[in-house]
Chain A
Amino acid sequence: MGIDATTHAANAHLTTPTRLTGSEILWATLVGEGVDTVFGYPGGAILPAYDALRKFPIHHVLVRHEQGAAHMADGYARASGKVGVAIATSGPGATNLITGIATAMLDSIPMVCITGNVPSKVLGTDAFQEVDITGVTLPVTKHNFLVSRAEDLAAALRHAFQIARSGRPGPVLVDITKDAQQASAIFDFEAAKPRAYRPHPMLTVEDSGLAQAAELIRNAQRPVILAGHGISESGAMEQVRTLAERAQIPVGLTLLGLGSFPASHPLSLGMMGMHGEKWVNDAIQEADLLIACGMRFDDRVIGTPATYAPKAKKIHIEIDPAEINKNVKADVALVGDLRAVLEELLPRISGRDGSSWLKWIDARKGESAVRDIKNLPDSGHLYAAHVMHDLWRMTGGNAVVVTDVGQHQMWEAQYYHHEHPRTLITSGGLGTMGFALPAAIGAKFGCPEKEVWVIAGDGGFQMTAAELSTIVQEKLKINIAIINNGYLGMVRQWQEFFYDRNYEATPLVSPDFVKLADAHGIPALAVRTRGEVAAAVEQARAAEGAFLLNFLVEKEDSVYPMIPAGKALHEMILRPGKDPLEERADD
């Protein structure tokens, strides 16, 4: 992809200091940082950089909207573990990135965004397409840079990559004035290396803390491990598994933790929190010890702090000291890289018998399972849960699934069982609708050999549907499943539960997605009954290029179980027990 005979010359820049333009320095530095793919959209203030691009072995993916570029860089990073790079011009190009940057910030995703800006001599004059993007993105980036001299560019970019990757990862923006792109300077990649990364000065893992944690684990009767996103970020899958297996501790997962502990593992409880299964939340409320691994006690996970796990001591293993005692008070805080902390903790952990606690939890699984729609006879209706379940079965749980935000996202989390990290890509913290399609494009570039599925609602899909063209232009094999219920489903569900079914602004008219796909040259099928699901999924998988499936599911189905916002974990609304649509007296 775009690699030609200039590769050698480009790499030569990295070893021999050379005079280059700012634009060339930009790409040469990216090459040096290991970047081979960027997602962007050109424009006036970034044109000098685009003009120099052809000399470097970097594949540029032209997006249809800069928000898409940011989500693609994000999806690329989530799928590959590498830093994603998005590029945009000044003004509207830069502001269009913001939703994507905030999405990455909330989920701690390593990403570098590059924006052009007006020439430095007119900065601050409201020049055409000027916006103070470093000012605007200050609260949604880990850090940002304004570079107005070519000689500062390499160091700023290298520092940006270091910041994005290190500690708790996050997005960094580098804003480069047009004159800095045009000017020339000596490019010395080695000399531009940032100072050694300085870990957060408040990281403390004291021996006494480890001893206390080991003691709590040894004496716990009803312990639960809370597995979060930090596990895959830190690469601590084996360590968490060893801890769970050695001490026979069941594992509940956050949404972003899914995949970090195998769903099929006997100790896996599944997802916790607002739409977690009742047995998971019951176990947490009943627990006498919680071992939080790389998670931040988000409000969607704890309900309310006052009622959360009242009987439990809490061990919080976390890389960000600012997370300690933020939402839930920790009894033992081990502040450091999860993998490193667990490596220190594990030698102090010995086998224990957890059977009675595991039996207690198991007994609770049964009562939930019988209410599960998956276990009810086929009524001829198509439920989203069926689609997820079938998709999981047919892909062997091995696909990289990129979801949007809403009901389908929760159904995916409940019914697609992830065995491996980085196989569920979803916007957890910010909950960004429109994320799935562009993030999946990034994910496909991040792991081209994997089967990638987009799962999106009819609402969120339309927010960024323009990126279908990007899929076609890049000839990507991505399968798209639209869970189409004609509503902004999750909002409708809240209206049903908490606003007297006043369905204000949630019914949604959509285009015929099959025709929309067709207009892009993407083959597509509509699926209306459960019986058609398997064949349709098979057809999509077998297709050479992208394929779109429009699943016309039950319109007023809701995600169960559910903790109403502001309620405690044990105050869940349970599944109705039989066909939820037939149970309503007034329908």
Chain B
Amino acid sequence: MLHTFVAYVEDLPGVLTRVASLFRRLNININSLTVGRSERQGLSRLTLVCEASSEAGHRIRASLYKLENVVDVDDIAQAPSVTRELALIKVAATPKNRAQIFDLVEVFRARIVDLTSESLMIEMTGVESKIEGLIEVLREDDGRILEICRSGKMTMRRGHHTSGVLRALGAGIAEVAEPEEDRVAAQPE
């Protein structure tokens, strides 16, 4: 099954190697990994997606915690959450056939962020399937896609104080129960 881990790690040289090395050692391929600054100074937040057996989740999480630079780990599993991916897609397009792509971009609620006489660049944010959808449609016209750059998944649990992340960080809300109705209410997608 697909596992999604959200981790807070110290923003120091070599920390990403330690995280990646753990998966290498377990012979698990990382499908996607996004890292960036978090709301806490000196801590990076990463979202890591990998394919592993359903029982592997516990051991991966426990092993991540054993890394000295890992401050917190959340196994998102099936919990209600928002997942997004960013894609930049460069497409060959001349003034003649641009209009068709503009229409597509409109339908997919993407944006054109760069335009030259030979090509244009599409920026799109969304769930994986939506991005796959746009790429598939663009591919129908052979050779049209020149470059694809995808960020990998970013995931955040739904609701306010619902995150195990916050609890483990001891951010002053130690034992707040996860209000089930909050989760349900906050799913306008």
Measured CB to CB, the residues of A under 8 A from B are 134-135, 138-139, 142-143, 146, 163, 200-202, 320-322, 324-326
B96 at the interface (CB under 8 A from A): no
B14 touches A134 (CB 8 A): yes
Q: Report if A324-B68 is in contact (Cβ < 8 Å); known contacts: A139-B21, A201-B168.
A: no
C-alpha gap A163/B55 in the complex (Å): 28
C-alpha gap A479/B55 in the complex (Å): 49
Question: Shortest beta-carbon distance, A146 to chain B, in Å?
Answer: 8
C-alpha gap A163/B69 in the complex (Å): 12
Question: Shortest beta-carbon distance, B163 to chain A, in Å?
Answer: 14
A321 touches B18 (CB 8 A): no
Instruction: Classify the interface of chain B: helix, strand, loop or mixed.
Output: helix
Q: Report if A322-B62 is in contact (Cβ < 8 Å); known contacts: A143-B68, A201-B72.
A: yes
Question: Shortest beta-carbon distance, B164 to chain A, in Å?
Answer: 10
Q: List 13 A-B contacts (CB under 8 A).
A: A135-B17, A138-B21, A142-B68, A143-B67, A143-B68, A201-B72, A201-B73, A202-B61, A322-B62, A324-B58, A324-B62, A325-B55, A326-B59
Scan B46-65; emit 1 where CB is below 8 A from any A CB, else 0: 00000000010011011101
A201 touches B65 (CB 8 A): yes
Chain B residues with CB below 8 A from A322, complex form: 59, 62-63, 66
C-alpha gap A163/B65 in the complex (Å): 13
C-alpha gap A282/B131 in the complex (Å): 58
Question: Shortest beta-carbon distance, B169 to chain A, in Å?
Answer: 10
Measured CB to CB, the residues of B under 8 A from A are 14, 17-18, 21, 25, 55, 58-59, 61-63, 65-68, 72-73, 168
Chain A residues with CB below 8 A from B17, complex form: 135, 138
A325 touches B59 (CB 8 A): yes
Chain A residues with CB below 8 A from B61, complex form: 202
C-alpha gap A202/B63 in the complex (Å): 10
Beyond A200-B65, A322-B59, A324-B62, 13 additional pairs, beta carbon < 8 A: A135-B14, A138-B17, A138-B18, A142-B66, A143-B67, A146-B14, A200-B62, A202-B65, A320-B66, A325-B55, A325-B58, A325-B59, A326-B59
B18 touches A200 (CB 8 A): no
C-alpha gap A561/B65 in the complex (Å): 40
Closest to A163 in B: B68
Closest to B164 in A: A201
Chain A residues with CB below 8 A from B73, complex form: 201
Question: Shortest beta-carbon distance, B11 to chain A, in Å?
Answer: 16
Chain B residues with CB below 8 A from A142, complex form: 66, 68
Q: Report if A200-B21 is in contact (Cβ < 8 Å); known contacts: A322-B59, A324-B58.
A: no
Question: Shortest beta-carbon distance, B114 to chain A, in Å?
Answer: 36
Chain A residues with CB below 8 A from B168, complex form: 201
Closest to B70 in A: A201
Chain A residues with CB below 8 A from B68, complex form: 142-143, 163
Chain A residues with CB below 8 A from B72, complex form: 201
Which 6 pairs between the two chains have the least Cβ-Cβ distance? A322-B62, A321-B62, A143-B68, A322-B63, A201-B168, A202-B62
Chain B residues with CB below 8 A from A202, complex form: 61-62, 65
C-alpha gap A134/B55 in the complex (Å): 31
Closest to A333 in B: B58
Closest to B14 in A: A134
C-alpha gap A139/B58 in the complex (Å): 20
B59 touches A200 (CB 8 A): no
Q: Report if A200-B66 is in contact (Cβ < 8 Å); known contacts: A135-B17, A138-B17.
A: yes
Closest to B59 in A: A322
Chain A residues with CB below 8 A from B59, complex form: 322, 325-326
Most central of B21, B65, B66, B67 by chain A CB within 10 Å: B66
Chain B residues with CB below 8 A from A138, complex form: 17-18, 21
Question: Shortest beta-carbon distance, A106 to chain B, in Å?
Answer: 13
Most central of B65, B68, B73 by chain A CB within 10 Å: B68
C-alpha gap A63/B168 in the complex (Å): 45
B65 touches A139 (CB 8 A): no
C-alpha gap A143/B66 in the complex (Å): 9
Closest to A168 in B: B66
Closest to B72 in A: A201
Chain B residues with CB below 8 A from A139, complex form: 21, 25
C-alpha gap A200/B71 in the complex (Å): 10
Chain A residues with CB below 8 A from B62, complex form: 200, 202, 320-322, 324
C-alpha gap A320/B58 in the complex (Å): 12
C-alpha gap A138/B21 in the complex (Å): 8
Chain B residues with CB below 8 A from A200, complex form: 62, 65-66
Chain B residues with CB below 8 A from A146, complex form: 14
Closest to B60 in A: A322
Closest to B69 in A: A143
C-alpha gap A200/B66 in the complex (Å): 7
C-alpha gap A202/B168 in the complex (Å): 10
C-alpha gap A343/B129 in the complex (Å): 53
